[in-house]
A and B are shown apart, each in its own frame.
Chain A
Amino acid sequence: MARKKEDQKADLLQGTLDMLILKAVSLGPLHGYGIIQRIRQMSGEMLEVEQGSLYPALYRSEQRGWVSSQWEKGETGRRVKLYTLTRDGRAQLEVEEASWDRLALAIAKVRQAT
């Protein structure tokens, strides 16, 4: 039981970007550029994900089965690759949000103590 908690803590640093991506596509299918835009919007223009980090993270998420992708004809007629959240991805998103909340709470407590 104790171990589980520790693992969650350790993965949090890497998991943050994954969480943001999952959150972004949870509202509907998006292409890579759209994901960056949506994260920026959602964060109130505070978070700017770099392309260099986005695509490796996206591919990783796809391999883990959290998102699925498909090339489709876009509005302009150009082929675009759209990412959709899978059921596994939704579950993962919940787990990550929960652990993020825990960490935020913990940090807040620590800060209050100072």
Chain B
Amino acid sequence: MRLLNVLSARLRALRGREAVIGDIDEELRLHLEMEAAANVERGMPPEEARRAALRTFGNFDSVRERAYEVRGGGLLETLLQDVRYAGRMLAKRPGFTAVAALTLALGVGANTAIFSVVEAVLLRPLPYRHAGRVVVVWENNHTQPRRHNVISPANFLDWRDQAKSFDEMAVFLDQPLSLTGAGEPEEVPAQLVTPNLFALLGVNPELGRAFTPEDAKPGKRAVVVVISHGLWQRRFGGAPDVIGRTVSLNGRPMSVVGVMPDGFKWFVKENSRASRPAELWLPMSLAPYSDRTKSGRFAQAVARLAPGVPLDKAQAEMDTIAGRLESQYPDYDKGWGITLVPLRDQLSGEIKPALLVLLGAVGFVLLIACVNVANLLLARAAGRHKEIAIRSAMGAGRRRIVRQLLTESVLLSLLGGALGLLLALWSVRALVALSPENLIGAGEVGLDLPVLAFTLAASLLTGILFGLAPALEASRVRLNESLKESSRGNAGSSRGRRLRDALIAAEVGLALVLLVGAGLMVRSFVRLQAVDPGFDARNLLTLRVALPSVRYPDDAKADAFFRQAVASLRTLPGVRSASAISELPFAALGTATSFTIEGRPAPPPGEFFGTDVRVVDEEYFRTMRIPVLAGRTFTPQEVAEDRKVCVVNQAMARVYFPGENPVGKRITVVMSDSPTPTEIIGVVGDARYAKLEGDLQPMVYWTPPQLPYSSRTLVLRAQGDPESLAAPARRAIQAIDKDLPVADVRTMEGWIAESMARTRFGTLLLAAFALLALTLAAVGIYGVMSHSVVQRQNEIGVRMALGARAGDVLWLVIRQGLARVLVGVGLGLLGALALTRVLSSLLYGVSATDPLTFLSLALLLTAVSWIACYIPARHAARVDPLIAMRYD
């Protein structure tokens, strides 16, 4: 009720200063008139009566001003007053202000930086029209753990005909192409797309046109391309007449019909055969794939839900269609279903858990910073009792004082926020590495408006959060006591002390949760790094070469090229051995298919024996140092001629030939229309191909004649530093064919590091935040203990005068501090137990409740806290009792 009155008065006041002043004026004039009238009644002449009334009234303007201020019209004025006063108070104690502002800057800065990534990745609208309705479409097989399998274009044609939930469905397929003519030959990430893809995404070219259905007429070779803004700038210098120009792709001329706008990107990294977003698009016809038995599952698909159709309804419809296809084509579709994934989840799914964990972590850091500053303010409030008592005696109400103190803390937090913003500005560039490459680029994480709003809100909230308790505490003035008594012997109010105890326990608890979280991540990362990839990654250099089909039309010619290239590389000085492989570990997505084993019944429809397939030459296992466990590897003759032999890995032997010797067995790997059996001649060790974590997949190694790839990766083992071979190796390739683009010249260790880069960076960040939390907590404990020792100086002096030894005093102070710390450690352990579960999906080889991590970090925190208590305690113990007792 009262609040309502105040509010309505404030609102009225805000509505118009004029109206309020007019009201006050009229009332005061009324008063004067009445006074004058009374004077006249007493017998004064009217003129004199009026003057007398004015005289008794005093300074009319100042009365009016004071009245106006009370009526709330002075809200802004008092605020300014408060801010000025607060500024003076902060400037008077530069040390305190600097420590507090820096503490807050660390907290706010970390939050701003992480939030800027969260905003760009998880919150900002995706740059496609109706992005909320776009879903990525996968197939899934119930015998496989992975729910996202590439799709069959033949199945897609049936979905498109039958599904009513979508207003547009498109297929796309990443495929690097080599771009020649005008300048260096270059391997360009390209994408084959059904012509409607751009319309589905709602993005128009900035120049020229998008594809039309005519561009992908069945039976017609694609002759037109759409290029990216970046490629247009790079290859054509941004020439405005680029439309109609010809580029040579894989040796075939194509005419440019459109340029996509700057920033347009369409890349679904999961299951893509490329590692970078496409810069060039070619129209794709699905007609050649309509015979499902002849083409496998290899493409990606996307669809846009019709307006008003919810995801679950669309999913239900797709389930029905999948069921229909299962019974219609049991050999091909038995056991296969369809998974719809909203675009946002697809693009940010892999990074989302880690980002949220980091956001939580910086939240904790900010809370700890708040607790620290609150503690500083509390300690200072004890010293400000007199000032506050005087202001209160001068007529300032409690609310007024609380408001003043809060203004001070908000000013402080804004100062910290501004510093934090600088910190974030500086660190945000580094954080770009966190963002998923299929979603946003380096330029798109930054301090934009939403981020600035977040920082402002975080600062204001922080100021109130850490300022409220100290302000309420400080304003609880015992007027006469405070004015009367000096600070002598005052150990601070017991309330204030209890509050500080609670704050210490809280910050210790928060720090421990963070430490345990980071500790788990670090242990998991160390485990991951220790995983043996199954080959020796040191001293390996890789380079990829894709042969254009125009100049290398038949397999024999391509094969001859690679044999020559490997031979040439092998002769380079410093090269121990060289080899070519279809898809190198960690450098590319692999090929996988199904197979049957001779003499065993085929698996029932809907199930299959699955294996990865790689095509290698005779030097591969020696170059990679993959051990041979049984039998032998390929001879040069087997690699050159089409002998039906293969080598398998240990996982294959374990999964499909348990208790048997696979050497001599014959398997049929389905890679063509008419697969033929091949004989297993050897078993080699398991090598990891995609990720260090996860299960090892069965693998079949084939020779090139059985499956000729026109794009292969060359790998060479150097005697010394592999990087020094990069230039000679490139020259050796181009000596054979000067128009060939050589891509991805880098070390094997570089590939492996890249596969872990984001995990490493996330772990590093979390560890840094935990360390920050530990430091802040230690500083906080130190500050409170120092303050408490100073306040108890007198008592300590008395104790020492009564015979307490230095050791007793030391123990007294440490015990007091450590007791609070241990409460915090207990709370922190409970909190960590509850919270680290959210990490489990990010952990490798370590449990989310790993007792060793919990215990060792609790010990570390206790030890650090002990030091933070010990230093002030030693000061206390060293004090001269005479001085201590006189301490004022």
Contact = CB atoms under 8 A, between A and B. Distances in A.
Contacts of B563: none
A59 B30 contact: no
Contacts of A31: 30-31, 34
Contacts of B56: 51
Given A32-B27, A64-B2, A65-B1, A52 B63 contact: yes
Nearest to B397: A14
Contacts of A3: 476
A111 B67 CA distance: 38
Contacts of A46: none
B329 interface: no
A51 B63 contact: yes
A55 B72 contact: no
B764 to A, nearest CB: 50
B1 A88 contact: yes
Nearest to A74: B30
Interface of B: 1-2, 5-6, 9, 24, 26-28, 30-31, 33-35, 56-59, 62-63, 66-67, 69-72, 392-393, 395, 397, 476-480
A33 B30 contact: yes
29 contacts: A6-B478, A9-B479, A10-B392, A10-B478, A14-B397, A32-B27, A32-B30, A33-B34, A50-B58, A51-B28, A51-B56, A52-B58, A52-B59, A52-B63, A52-B66, A55-B67, A55-B70, A56-B66, A56-B70, A59-B67, A59-B70, A62-B9, A63-B6, A63-B9, A64-B6, A65-B5, A78-B30, A79-B26, A80-B30
User: What are the 10 closest A-B residue pairs judged by CB atoms, nearest first?
Assistant: A33-B34, A59-B70, A55-B67, A65-B5, A56-B70, A52-B63, A10-B479, A65-B2, A33-B31, A56-B66
Interface in A75-109: 78-81, 88
Contacts of A10: 392, 477-479
Interface of A: 3, 6, 9-10, 13-14, 31-33, 50-52, 55-56, 59-60, 62-65, 78-81, 88
Find the residue from A50, A59, A64 having the highest chain B CB count within 10 A.
Answer: A59
A55 B26 CA distance: 12
A2 to B, nearest CB: 10
Find the residue from B2, B62, B72 having the highest chain A CB count within 10 A.
Answer: B2
Contacts of B397: 14
Contact of A51 (B5, B31, B33, B69): B31
B62 A52 contact: yes
Contacts of A64: 2, 5-6
B395 A14 contact: yes
Given A3-B476, A55-B28, A63-B70, 12 more contacts: A9-B479, A10-B392, A10-B478, A33-B30, A51-B57, A51-B58, A55-B27, A59-B70, A63-B9, A64-B5, A78-B33, A81-B27
A52 B9 CA distance: 21
Contacts of B1: 65, 88
Contacts of A65: 1-2, 5
A3 B475 CA distance: 13
A65 B35 CA distance: 28
A59 B71 contact: yes
A63 to B, nearest CB: 5
A94 B757 CA distance: 73
Contacts of B33: 78
Nearest to B479: A10
A78 B32 CA distance: 13
Contact of B72 (A63, A78, A79, A80): A63
A32 B70 CA distance: 16
Nearest to A10: B479
A81 B26 CA distance: 9
B63 A55 contact: yes
A56 B67 contact: yes
Nearest to B395: A14
A62 B478 CA distance: 28
Contacts of B478: 6, 10
Find the residue from B6, B31, B69 having the highest chain A CB count within 10 A.
Answer: B31
A32 B6 CA distance: 21
B485 to A, nearest CB: 15
A64 B397 CA distance: 13
B17 to A, nearest CB: 15
A55 B395 contact: no
Given A10-B479, A51-B57, A63 B31 contact: no
A65 to B, nearest CB: 4
A12 to B, nearest CB: 10
A63 B5 contact: yes
A22 B67 CA distance: 18
A103 B166 CA distance: 81
A106 B26 CA distance: 43
A13 B24 CA distance: 26
Contacts of A52: 57-59, 62-63, 66
B2 A55 contact: no
Nearest to B392: A10
A88 B479 CA distance: 27
A59 B338 CA distance: 72
A72 B873 CA distance: 71
Nearest to A50: B58
Contacts of B57: 51-52
Contacts of B392: 10
A78 B478 CA distance: 48
B211 to A, nearest CB: 70
A65 B397 CA distance: 17
B149 to A, nearest CB: 70
A9 B481 CA distance: 12
A55 B70 CA distance: 9
A32 B477 contact: no
B63 to A, nearest CB: 5
A55 B30 contact: no
A38 to B, nearest CB: 13
Contacts of A80: 30
A74 B393 CA distance: 40
Nearest to A34: B34
A17 B472 CA distance: 26
Given A51-B31, A55-B67, A63-B72, A88 B477 contact: no
